[in-house]
Chains A and B, each alone.
Chain A
């Protein structure tokens, strides 16, 4: 016969887990709106930035820029954006699964979970600012120009909807030649290559910032979904355990009555 005391303890523990998931779900829901607004604003910026950089990379002479030189791709650096906390379903796991596809790359983590994994000083992906991104971007651009690595990518989570997010990689360096029509007659000051080389830092910093914001929006959405389903599971477990507990209790009572009745019959 199941132990009623053990079942009671179990039900209590599941109830407290349910409360915890509810609280975490509520915190995530309150952050969703702000995170989504920040993501859409950053997307606006990125689309303008990409249009402007496309104006620079579509010219023939832009091929002379060190940032457009395609070299041997064996030395790769990848910026990896993961969350600050766990309990967000497969959010962090999907990012690290994608990272495993690049075993020879050097990873530059953003977010506490990624920093812990790659033994880096801790930084927060939730509060990652443009200034932080600019610092990293300047360092990477200098290293790329010195030829210390050949390819730069960024692993982030792409937001499709509250229900679906997907780990993705975007290659930032070397820059690809773009196709833009009607660009003849544009004046570049001081000259085309200088403007291109100067704007690469902004391009990379802008990408890091906006993708960090997109990833954060994914993290809170993933956490809310995970907490919703964890809450539902906890409710179902409480129902099942209560049923077991009541059966056990009923069984014990029936047995006691049977014993008393049997005892009374003997007299």
Chain B
């Protein structure tokens, strides 16, 4: 299983900083999933629930209110005004 580094940052600091398997979010053009080895990519994110997959079977659901997703060779950075993991 290949993983990549995800940093989720909001004005309350880095809410998540670690290796993950997959990220599901809703971009302005529709749903998208980011996995390891993704091409460098920048998009705006809509306010919607998202899923952070720590491995193939453990998704963590979260809610974010829009933001900016940047993917480069070092990993992905998700900038959101508010980002909260569901309990």
Q: Which residues of A contact B (CB under 8 A)?
A: 38, 40-42, 44-45, 48-49, 51-52, 55-56, 130-131, 134, 183, 185-190, 194-195, 198-199, 202, 205-206, 209-210, 213
Contact A190 B29 (CB under 8 A): yes
Bound-complex Cα distance A41 to B14 (A):
7
By beta carbon, the residue of chain B nearest A213 is B11
Which residues from A are CB-within-8-Å of B41? 186-189
Which residues from A are CB-within-8-Å of B13? 40-42, 44-45
Contact indicator per residue, chain B 14-27, by CB within 8 Å of chain A (1) or not (0) = 10000000000001
By beta carbon, the residue of chain A nearest B40 is A186
| A-facing residues in B45-68 (Cβ within 8 Å) | 66-68
Contact B28 A48 (CB under 8 A): no
By beta carbon, the residue of chain B nearest A37 is B13
Q: Contacts A48-B79, A185-B39, A189-B29 hold; do A41 and B12 have CB atoms under 8 A apart?
A: yes
Which residues from B are CB-within-8-Å of A199? 44, 68
By beta carbon, the residue of chain A nearest B12 is A41
Contact partner, B43, options A44, A48, A49, A195, Cβ 8 Å: A195
Interface centre among A38, A49, A210 (most CB of B within 10 A): A49
Contact partner, B28, options A52, A185, A198, A209, Cβ 8 Å: A198
Contact A56 B42 (CB under 8 A): yes
Interface size on B, residues (CB 8 A): 25
By beta carbon, the residue of chain B nearest A134 is B81
Residue B77 at the chain A interface, CB threshold 8 Å: yes
- 24 A-B residue pairings within 8 Å (CB atoms): A41-B11, A41-B13, A42-B12, A45-B10, A45-B13, A45-B14, A48-B7, A52-B70, A55-B42, A55-B70, A134-B81, A185-B39, A187-B39, A188-B42, A189-B27, A189-B42, A189-B43, A190-B43, A194-B44, A195-B42, A195-B43, A198-B44, A202-B68, A206-B79
Bound-complex Cα distance A42 to B28 (A):
26
Bound-complex Cα distance A51 to B29 (A):
23
Bound-complex Cα distance A187 to B14 (A):
25
Bound-complex Cα distance A84 to B12 (A):
21
Which residues from A are CB-within-8-Å of B14? 41, 44-45
Interface centre among A131, A206, A213 (most CB of B within 10 A): A206
Which residues from A are CB-within-8-Å of B70? 51-52, 55
By beta carbon, the residue of chain A nearest B10 is A45
Residue B3 at the chain A interface, CB threshold 8 Å: no
Which residues from B are CB-within-8-Å of A190? 28-29, 43
Bound-complex Cα distance A99 to B66 (A):
33
Contact indicator per residue, chain B 26-37, by CB within 8 Å of chain A (1) or not (0) = 011100000000
By beta carbon, the residue of chain A nearest B13 is A41
Q: How far is the CB of B65 from chain A (nearest CB, A)?
A: 9
Q: How far is the CB of B29 from chain A (nearest CB, A)?
A: 5
Which residues from A are CB-within-8-Å of B81? 130-131, 134, 202, 205-206
The 10 closest A-B pairs by CB, nearest first: A41-B13, A189-B43, A198-B44, A186-B40, A209-B11, A48-B9, A52-B70, A45-B9, A130-B81, A187-B41
